[in-house]
Structure 1
Amino acid sequence: MTTLARIIGLLLLSLFVTLTSCSSDDNEVVVLSEPSDTMTTAELTTYFQTLIETENVPGFAVTIIENDAIVFQSGFGFADIQNQKAYTNQTQNGIGSLSKTFVGAATAKAIEQGHFTLETPINDILPVEIVNLQKPEAVILVKHLTTHSSGIIDNPSNYIVGNYVVLPDQDLNGEAAGILLNGLGLEVSNPISLPDYLGEYFLEDGVFYGADTYSNVAPGSSWSYSNVATSLMGFVIESATGQSFDAYVKENILLPLQMNSSTFNILEVDFSKIAIPYIDTARPLPFYGNHGYPEGSMHTTNEDLGNYLLDMTRGIKGQSSTLFAPSIYELLFTEQLPDGTVPNAFAENHGLYWYSKNGKWMHGGNSLGVSSHMEIADNGSYGFVITSNIDGTFTENEGKWETVKQKIEEGIQAFLKSN
């Protein structure tokens, strides 16, 4: 998640491979060459396999869509290094804030079903009133939550410890477990319910209730990436539809796309099929959950995400009605904010959680020991998704995921140009 690297820092003070043998011994030094102008599927596979070695990372998977077809889909490295368990298309992995695109899809579906519109005040839907303690007269609309412009902000002092838990029955003896328990102060438990979690922020007797959950700005006028606000959007959907958020997403998004190995409910995850999250290749993390699960707790596979990505690339062109009418896909990818609201370093504008940048719609995700990224050309001609058990959040790994992601993207773009 976007704010995690900064928070943890505060809390924890191309297309061929050149293989060269060392003259002094039999060890092989693996060098990743720059991608070439011609890239076959076999060469891209070799490139990614070599990237695992040269960057010393656990595992990742990639799906590439071109012209309404999956043209590449494969996993690389390990889901479990100690047991040499391969990372495959069927490996489940948390995807961090890429989960927010599913909140966007659920919002779009609820709009199509007539539960609310983007212009509906959230207090017209919720069972309790949300008041910006720094700007009490502010009226927060649904579109403000979906574009990170509501005035609800994450508080670095309580976001991680208040949201994350180490799941029961995990091995807590390793160094990485100690970092979560002692360094970050996480508790061992199953996640509490979404309403109970949000109550800690928005009810007067809540542990985290206070003015530091808000900024003194008019909704829609300023952008601040907010995980808490996204979790609140999940509860808006719950309140409007009468279903739990995870059940609503399963019925209306996952099942229609045959994403049968995907879930927002961590208690449904088969831990024998999930990739172990790693700080680095020597330090596996215990499995964890988060109370505010809509903002970052989708667990899925490369195979399932391929179905999702394929539908989004078709939908962005008005050629799908699998999830909703073509006009609702268009709404999902329509810029919602005045120009200049989103910081240029991040993006140009926002759809429903998806953000636009350089002619593409995209979203990424980073959580403890997992990273992901998805992009779609704004004309729907291609798209790709990356999932991984590579950490991009701890301060010591700053830049590691970005380096690996950049090299993966270079391979993808070379492959697309060659085919």
Structure 2
Amino acid sequence: MTTLSRILVLSILSLILTLTSCSNNDDGGTIPEPFSIKTAAELNAYLDDMAKATDVPGFAISVVKGNSIVYQESFGYANIQNQVAYTNTTINSIASTSKTFVGAAVAKAIEQGHFTLETNINDLLPISVINPKQPEGVIKIKHLATHTSGLLDRPEVYLAYNYHILPGENINTAGAGILMNEIGIEQREAYSLEDFLAAYFLEDGDLYSLDNFADTPPGSTWAYSNLATGLSGYIIETVTGQSFDEYVKENILLPLQMNASTYSIEEVNTAEMATRYINEGTPLPLYANDSYPEGSIYTSNEDMGYFLLDMVSGIKGESNLLFSKDSYDMLFNPQLAGGLVPQDFAENHGLFWYFKDGKAMHGGNSFGVSTHLEIEQNGASGFIFMSNMDASFSGNTQSYLAVQEKVSKAIKEYLDAI
């Protein structure tokens, strides 16, 4: 079986944003239907049953209603083999849900006067990024933030050359073998964000290809792009003189008191980190990716509760903790015009936030990581789900979707009752 037949590369975004009606996991176990959940104790009991009935190793949930965190609990295991419980302080990466922090960083940089949504990215970059298929096209900040830049992910390059197993990790394991032999990931030191993006987007780069670009004008076609998001992070580095991780820490994480969160895995106490699993018998070695802004925040359920609370307040115009009301409005204002829509899983989006059925949301999947964040566009409520469950390999996708569907239903019942 080939790599591309076993892993859902870009289509996984649509899967994590569109819930299906599937209710059985791949092992044949039935996920119970949530029914008449009215209290936190009843929600606890339901989710505890779910943890036991499914193959999700561990997960955590925070729920906000009004201006308060009304629920924050964790279930299952951060490490199955050592029976380490998954707790609200367990550190887990959140994959592409990290893009909501890129959105906040872009809004902050705009408020600080570094650029606007209409700024040509080549007015900011030290070396121009040109789409060879549309050389006259002007790629703007808003195109990066709405996935309409024409800068594409080439799946085999994005996976095999962007990700790397950390030096010192044991690669003589089944999990390491899957990443190395089936995906092509190497064990190596990280490349800098600048070097990786230069290798991909500049004509003399080792990873450069015409396939890295769409033959459509900027702003005309939607195509989800991790590497264009990474480029957003690099632009912030260029205009501020700070590394992107330090910029986010100073301007977003610390103001929100997300003191356990970081983009730098070197700052993570790995003893407090959830083991990432392909399945309960196949843990993965620690890995990272060079285009890190788009998918590599390490955080806890406790910390994500602070972020969720501020986003719920900000979308209804009641927060100025990170930036002004106008900047929160910009973050959550629909940016796509002229009938352009992302795909069937979303109706429009703001700065890296998708809108669907009255909700602003983003999901994330990486190897052994599955997350989902959503808030009501009227600011009434929201929740975060994060886990060390895999949904990137096709055999695991439906299991994750079934879990997420039932979690969402259970939370809705709880929110409706309180």
**Per the shorter chain, which TM-score range?**
over 0.9
- How far the C-alpha of 1:56 sits from its partner, in A, is 2.1
Return the alpha-carbon distance in structure 1 between the equivalents of residues 168 and 67 of structure 2: 43
Aligned equivalent of 1:155: 154
Cα distance per residue 1:311-365 (max 9 Å; x no partner):
0000111111100011100000000011532244120001000010000000000
| Structure 2 counterpart SS, 1:279 | strand
Identity across the alignment (%):
52
Return the alpha-carbon distance in structure 1 between the equivalents of residues 360 and 37 of structure 2: 26
Q: Which has the larger radius of gyration?
A: 1
Aligned residue identity for 1:79: A
Aligned equivalent of 1:321: 320
TM-score for the superposition, normalised by structure 1: 0.92
Aligned equivalent of 1:293: 292
Aligned equivalent of 1:414: 413
Return the alpha-carbon distance in structure 2 between the equivalents of residues 158 and 33 of structure 1: 40
Return the alpha-carbon distance in structure 2 between the equivalents of residues 313 and 6 of structure 1: 38
Return the alpha-carbon distance in structure 1 between the equivalents of residues 341 and 29 of structure 2: 41
Cα distance per residue 1:76-123 (max 9 Å; x no partner):
000000110000000000100000000000000000000000000000
Return the alpha-carbon distance in structure 2 between the equivalents of residues 7 and 94 of structure 1: 22
Return the alpha-carbon distance in structure 1 between the equivalents of residues 8 and 304 of structure 2: 31
| Structure 1 counterpart SS, 2:134 | coil
Partners of 2:6 and 2:394 within 8 A in 1: no
Cα distance per residue 1:179-214 (max 9 Å; x no partner):
111221211123211001101112222111121110
- How far the C-alpha of 1:32 sits from its partner, in A, is 4.9
Aligned residue identity for 1:415: Y
| Structure 1 counterpart SS, 2:270 | coil
- How far the C-alpha of 1:30 sits from its partner, in A, is 8.9
Partners of 1:30 and 1:50 within 8 A in 2: no
Cα distance per residue 1:152-182 (max 9 Å; x no partner):
0111221101100001121222211101112
Return the alpha-carbon distance in structure 2 between the equivalents of residues 50 and 325 of structure 1: 43
Return the alpha-carbon distance in structure 2 between the equivalents of residues 324 and 366 of structure 1: 29
Partners of 1:5 and 1:398 within 8 A in 2: no
Partners of 2:29 and 2:54 within 8 A in 1: no
1:384 is the counterpart of 2:369: no
Return the alpha-carbon distance in structure 1 between the equivalents of residues 381 and 8 of structure 2: 36
- How far the C-alpha of 1:36 sits from its partner, in A, is 2.1
Partners of 1:201 and 1:207 within 8 A in 2: yes
What stretches of structure 2 of length at least 5 have no aligned partner? 10-27
Distance 1:9 1:145, change over 3 A: closer
Aligned equivalent of 1:135: 134
Structure number with higher relative contact order (C-alpha < 8 Å, ≥ 6 residues apart): 2
What stretches of structure 1 of length at least 5 have no aligned partner? 11-28
Aligned equivalent of 1:228: 227
Aligned equivalent of 2:302: 303
| Structure 2 counterpart SS, 1:230 | helix
- How far the C-alpha of 1:55 sits from its partner, in A, is 1.1
Aligned equivalent of 1:368: 367
Aligned equivalent of 1:18: none
Aligned residue identity for 2:316: K
Aligned equivalent of 2:81: 82
Aligned equivalent of 2:396: 397
Return the alpha-carbon distance in structure 1 between the equivalents of residues 371 and 244 of structure 2: 22
Distance 1:6 1:321, change over 3 A: farther
Partners of 1:195 and 1:235 within 8 A in 2: yes
- How far the C-alpha of 1:305 sits from its partner, in A, is 0.3
Aligned equivalent of 1:14: none
1:144 is the counterpart of 2:143: yes
Return the alpha-carbon distance in structure 1 between the equivalents of residues 193 and 326 of structure 2: 30
Partners of 1:32 and 1:47 within 8 A in 2: no
1:64-213 equivalent positions in 2, closer than 5 A: 64-213=63-212
Aligned equivalent of 1:284: 283
| Structure 2 counterpart SS, 1:263 | coil
Return the alpha-carbon distance in structure 2 between the equivalents of residues 65 and 229 of structure 1: 31
Distance 1:364 1:229, change over 3 A: same
Cα distance per residue 1:120-140 (max 9 Å; x no partner):
000000001010011111100
Aligned residue identity for 1:417: D
